[in-house]
Structure 1
Amino acid sequence: MEIRQFGGPEVVQVRDVPDPVPGPSEVLVEVARSGVNFADTLLREDGYITSATLPVIPGGEVTGRAPDGRRVAAMTERGGYAERVAVPAAHAFPVPDELDDVEAVALLAQGLTAWWLVHHTARVQPGDSVVVHAAAGGVGSLAVQLARMRGAARVIAVASTPEKRDVAMSLGADIAVDPAADDLTAALLAANDGTGVDAVLEMTGGRVTDRSLAALAPFGRLAFYGMAGGVEPEKVSPRALQRRSATVSGFWLMHAFDRPEVLQKAYAELSALVIAGELRVIHGGDHAMSDVRRVHEDLRGRRSIGKLVLDPAR
């Protein structure tokens, strides 16, 4: 699936292109499933953190088989919406046979992001109160569970529909909040028995970020890892942060690939938790790659739950 001009879902077109030729530090993957991420829709519109050079094949994560038959899950900057892709060998993780293809892909961008946010960026500690925005999405659904495993005393899920809030509750959230509440700060405080929260995982931007920041307790941490709403939050005043000893930090998974040994450990840890039945991946839909336009529309329309994947054989 190739993009030759930026725009809406209609610009993603089926093309026949030459097979990629892996370089000396790359491995060729025969793709079984390609992951779909919100970032793919931003790339399509030329609205992502980094700009793309056209033509471009979108897709940053795949699972499949290496030439020697090994199952691997791999991150790649581009090229995932295809039957074959060359990926950096350091970014290819072994996939246990007990994981299905959807689980294998879900533990890449979403799983590794959730793991890093909980363990490093937000530094969730036992006893913390943790707010997880988009709690039924790919990252959020895993972050709810990982925060609970870290010993969070209260996990507050934020999700836009009753169905999504029910999903978050089934994953271990203590209470669920509607982000459209007239006073989101008051709603978050009420969900935490009237007191400020210790950590917020936020990827919406605009008013949601601003109102979440206002709900932080002293020494609270807000981890910002996306701007799905497309609106910048208000400028954060250092003086305002000082008044509550608060921390605002950003996270982009691509920087974590400079520490491949940490990500290899994290992927293996997440895989073991899924196999043991302690971590649940929400299957959001196993779609034909030819349906990619509709999948993008569902993702941008906030109609999806869990992990969406594409099958290049269909």
Structure 2
Amino acid sequence: MNKIPNRQAICEVLMDKAKDDKDIMVLCSDSRGSASMTPFADNFPEQFVETGIAEQNLVSISAGLAKCGKKPFACSPACFLSTRSYEQAKIDVAYSNTNVTLIGISGGVSYGALGMSHHSAQDIAAMAAIPNMRVYLPSDRHQTKHLIEALLKDEKPAYIRVGRNPVEDIYTEDNCPFEMDKATVLKEGTDVAIIACGEMVRPAFEAAKLLETQGISATVLDMYCVKPLDAEGVVKAAKNVKAVITVEEHAPFGGLGSMVAQVVGAECPRKVLNMALPDAPVITGTSQEVFDYYGLNAEGIAKKAVEALK
């Protein structure tokens, strides 16, 4: 089992690149430990800024640094970064089109036991609604590495959400197909398409294996690029199946499911069922306990796929 969380993978990439690129800056809101950025702060103190618990300042300072030619990566818990600093993300980063990468750490229900105040089940919808803001949910450490490397090469705003805990590898260091803003096809099938993002990609892939034992052929798409959504990939997958299932660690409104349904409805009408967290404060517990409770696991996804084909 992999023991490296995506947040640590981000730090490792930034540390490696910062050796030669002195424009790379990391900013934290009293969250260097939570963000796994302590090694960066220790090794590159001149390229690190600590703002304290002041998410609005975190984002505005990052935008200012970007306007000075720096490449800032602003790290803060997703629940706060996507709410407390929303205006700064909208105006200072997106409207001003600054080269800022916002990294929402411990996203979704990672802080499960702390309750709704620390959950970020609205961040996909909120950030995706901002013009110029891209939204990414990488599924494992290898894809995270490729994403950060790609973002270092462009100068556009982005929001990345990663969980708190390590997730089981989907790819390997030597086999991680990655194309910027294109979904990765993990499996092709002819009965149902399962489109997932972030930590839901692994259970979606495992669900496809369970469905195989029932004689059901499933396509699985790793939609790490929620915005811009890979509409071409969605249509291609939907055209070859009878139903589409979307799976996300997010509220049922405005996220991956809503976006996929819009594309499928307009381009190739099929039944679309969205699996997400409920429109209510979720139960407290570990991430896995929460996922299991709401059926956001391999068994639950497989069950929903069977229902969709009836």
Normalization by structure 1: what TM-score? 0.31
Q: Which has the higher strand share?
A: 1
Normalization by structure 2: what TM-score? 0.31
